[in-house]
Each structure stands twice: as structure tokens, then as C-alpha cells.
Structure 1
Amino acid sequence: MTITIQYVKMPTSETLTAFTEKRLNKLATKYNWLINAQVFFKLGQDINKKSICEIELSLPGPKIFASSKAENYEVAVKEAISDLNKQLKKRKETTYHH
């Protein structure tokens, strides 16, 4: 799986990149039919300035998307990947069990 990480209007972080890649690679080993992952890190525009992580996965069929707002980026990544895992589990059940 190819992983593309973009930091929108904020400085890049090697540790956050490594953390995100590690989490996504775990997902890729569980679901080996994933093709591509695009990750966007943004700073929220509301009063709290929460951290936003958006992840879009390319796979056979429609793309899967998850977004999460949290106090820090690590928690946002965990929540977004957890949401993706649920969606992938549903997709696997409907697609591969005929």
C-alpha cells in the first residue's frame, strides 16, 4: 500500500509521519487488498483549535473515508484508523462472503 501524508498549513513532523505509517501498515497487513492511503493533517478553525486527521483509502470498489478531531494528532489518527477498520470489516463481509 502506498501512503501519502500531507500537512495542510502546518509544519511537517517526522514522528507523526512514522506513527501514522506504522498504524496504516498494520491495517494493510490485515487487509492486503488496500491500494493507497492519503492522509491529511490540519489544524481546526474553531475556538479550541483541535487537531484534525482525515484519511482516504483506495481499494477495489468505492473509496473509504474517515475524519477525526481530537486534542492531539496521535489520538485523531487512532480514532480515524479505528473508524476505517470498522468500515473495512463491513466491506470485507459484504464483498468476500458469497
Structure 2
Amino acid sequence: MIMTVNFQYVNTDVSETLSQFTKEKLEKLNNKFEFLISAQVYFKHDDKDHQAGKICNIELSLPGPRIFAKSNEREYELAVSATINDLRRQLEKRKEIYKIY
């Protein structure tokens, strides 16, 4: 099943390349965890944070409570990777709960 992905860019320019990069990462996650329904992806830029400031928030819809992760890195691609790794850990735990029942 194909997961719906919605993007929002806050205080930063819309990037088709970044959207495509993120979609590919999310598709890999969706292939492993087939119960995912949709993803809300927010890219934000924090002008005050000079070390990082490239923020990626991803909220996943799936059966049960939603899963959310956020990363703040110096590049959006790093933030996406860190956020997806965090989501993967949360999904692994959720999958264990499903196996019990």
C-alpha cells in the first residue's frame, strides 16, 4: 500500500529534491512497516541556531497513537536521516506490541 506524504515548508524554500529524498526514505520505511497510513513532513529553518537550524519533523499515522520524531541538523538531508532513524526505532517497538496479540 502506498503511503500518503504531505510536505510543509516553514521559513524555507520548497525543494523538490528534498521532497523526493524524503519520499524515498519514507518508502523504505513503508516497505518494512506495511501498517503505515500517512506521513506529515515539516521542514523549518531556525535563523537563531547558527550551528544547525535545519529542522525536520515527521509525524506518522498508523493504527493506534501517532508516532512523531524531530531532528535539528546543519543540513536538511541529515535531519531527515536522523528523524527517520528515530521513527524506525519507535516502529520496531510498536511492531513488537502487535506481535504479542
Shorter-chain TM-score bucket reads over 0.9
Aligned partner of 1:67 in structure 2 is 70
- TM score, norm. by length of structure 1: 0.95
Distance across 2 between alignment mates of 1:13 and 1:66: 21
How much does 1:95 deviate? 1.9
Q: Deviations over 1:24-83 (max 9, x none)?
A: 000000000000100000002424151000000000000000000001000000000000
Match of 2:19 in 1: 17
**Deviation sequence 1:7-40 (CA, Å, 0-9, x none):** 1122100110100000000000000000010000
1:35 maps onto 2:41 in alignment: no
Distance 1:35 1:69 in 2: 25
In structure 2, the residue matched to 1:88 is: 91
State the distance in 1 between where 2:91 and 2:47 align. Answer: 30
Q: Secondary structure at the match of 1:28?
A: helix
* Corresponding residue pairs, total: 98
Q: Tell me, which stretches of 5 or more residues in structure 2 are unaligned?
A: none
Q: Percent identity?
A: 50
What one-letter code is carried by the residue in structure 2 that aligns with 1:55? I
Q: SS at 1:11's partner residue? A: coil
Partner residue of 2:59 out of 56, 59, 67:
56
Q: Secondary structure at the match of 1:33?
A: coil
Match of 2:6 among 4, 11, 36: 4
